[in-house]
């Protein structure tokens, strides 16, 4: 199958069961994207020009697919992939979660890929070694930004593993207000977590990481209370990934906040345009994003607020 390579102009022949995120029409021929909420969301965000990771959709991890992905990673000098799962079956979302496998670890996941489950395989990221992650709730009269710090990820919030380390409530702009600058007068409230509560969330994150290491990549886990030996095991793992979870929370700096806000306010102010052109309707939705060390700001998903507020 001939498709455009993600983020490039070259034409590549992709193996069967592998489809570029830059070719939504091709994906639709093989998958009913309306049944895959994460896939549909990332395609729409990417088509609308929001920064997302390049990558592919795969519904069968054949040797040809693995070989292509190995070459793709080598070409871009990636050590890992960003892997997300999607499925029409709710139980798949409960028992599986995204990870950042090497090609060898991805090959070991072949038994997981059973229809109708699909994988969204994207450029390298390390969920244990990224910077701030942000969930933005577009409510009726305000934007609520809930933030977790370095070493955490947005899934910690969506799965209820932690409370926000920082939150900002921002007034929504009129559709006649075209300013994309965030000023102090735009901020309705600003909350920063207490040190004791942050340290508790850090311990919970350690428990989640330990459970992941025990059960294997891709399997959804709950946090565990760890012994000193188990805590040391997580510390060793993080050091091997050149990662750490700080002892204190450092707030999201204004430069990154402004960069994120620029996209958010455009989606909000020009909501009719994005709804008509890209089927992106932000009303009562949650938009997830992270600041990655290698790629900067990337957006992951847009989903119904009920999935988050009822967590």
How confident is the model over 230-274, as pLDDT tens digits? 888 888 989 888 888 999 999 999 999 999 999 999 998 888 899
Residue 287 neighbours by CB under 8 Å, 6+ apart: 135, 136, 138, 264, 267, 299, 301, 302
pLDDT for the residue numbered 99: 79
What three-state secondary structure class fits 21?
coil
- Whether 11 and 53 map to the same domain: the answer is yes
- Whether 107 and 145 map to the same domain: the answer is no
- Whether 167 and 249 map to the same domain: the answer is yes
Residue 201 CA to residue 291 CA, distance in Å, equals 20
* Of 122, 144, 160, the domain-final residue: 122
Least Cα distance to 14 among 123, 274, 6, 93 occurs for 6
* Of 101, 122, 143, the domain-final residue: 122
Residue 180 CA to residue 191 CA, distance in Å, equals 22
Residue 127: inside a domain, yes or no? no
Lowest mean pLDDT among 76-80, 184-188, 214-218: 214-218
- Whether 98 and 209 map to the same domain: the answer is no
Helices (H) and strands (E) in the chain, counts: 11, 12
Q: In degrees, to the nearest 5, what angle opens at C-alpha 242 toward C-alphas 132 and 102?
A: 90
Lowest mean pLDDT among 141-145, 151-155, 197-201, 222-226: 222-226
Residue 256: inside a domain, yes or no? yes
CB atoms within 10 A of CB 262: 13
The number of folded domains in the chain is: 2
Residue 256 neighbours by CB under 8 Å, 6+ apart: 131, 132, 291, 297
pLDDT tens readout for residues 67-82:
999 999 889 988 888 8
pLDDT tens readout for residues 97-146:
667 888 998 898 888 888 898 999 999 888 888 899 999 999 888 999 99
* Structure tokens that stand for 156 in this block: 């910690």
Strand partners, 84: 120
Domain span holding position 277: 133-309
* Of 84, 100, 122, the domain-final residue: 122
Side-chain half-sphere exposure of 47, counting CA atoms within 13 A = 18
pLDDT tens readout for residues 11-33:
468 899 999 999 999 999 999 88
Q: Could you tell me which residue, 92 or 58, shows the higher pLDDT?
A: 58
Residue 202 CA to residue 208 CA, distance in Å, equals 10
Residue 204: inside a domain, yes or no? yes
Residue 183: inside a domain, yes or no? yes
- Whether 99 and 140 map to the same domain: the answer is no
Residue 263: inside a domain, yes or no? yes
């Amino acid at each position: 199958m001939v498709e455009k390579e993600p983020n490039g102009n070259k034409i590549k022949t992709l193996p069967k069961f592998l489809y570029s995120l830059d070719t939504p029409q091709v994906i639709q021929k093989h998958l009913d994207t309306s049944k895959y909420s994460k896939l549909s969301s990332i395609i729409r965000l990417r088509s609308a020009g929001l920064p997302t990771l390049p990558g592919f959709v795969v519904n069968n991890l054949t040797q040809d697919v693995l070989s292509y992905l190995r070459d793709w990673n080598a070409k871009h000098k990636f050590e890992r992939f960003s892997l997300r799962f999607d499925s029409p079956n709710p139980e798949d979302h409960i028992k599986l979660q995204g990870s950042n496998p090497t090609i060898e670890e991805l090959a070991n996941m072949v038994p997981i890929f059973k229809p109708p489950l699909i994988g969204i395989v994207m450029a390298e990221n390390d969920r244990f070694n990224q910077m701030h992650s942000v969930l933005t709730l577009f409510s009726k009269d305000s934007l609520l930004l809930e933030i977790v710090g370095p070493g955490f990820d947005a899934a910690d919030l969506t799965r209820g593993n932690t409370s926000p380390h920082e939150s900002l409530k921002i007034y929504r702009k009129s559709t006649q207000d075209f300013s994309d600058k965030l000023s102090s007068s735009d901020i309705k409230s600003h909350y920063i977590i207490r040190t004791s509560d942050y340290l508790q969330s850090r311990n919970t994150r350690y428990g989640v990481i330990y459970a992941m290491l025990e059960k294997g990549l891709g399997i959804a886990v709950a946090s565990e209370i760890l012994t000193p030996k188990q805590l040391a095991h997580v510390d060793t793992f993080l050091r091997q990934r050149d990662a750490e979870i700080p002892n204190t929370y450092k707030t999201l700096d204004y430069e990154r906040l402004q960069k994120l806000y620029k996209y958010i306010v455009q989606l909000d102010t020009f909501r009719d345009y994005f709804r008509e052109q890209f089927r992106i309707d932000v009303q009562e939705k949650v938009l997830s994003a992270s600041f990655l060390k290698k790629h900067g700001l990337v957006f992951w998903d847009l989903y119904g607020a009920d999935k988050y507020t009822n967590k």
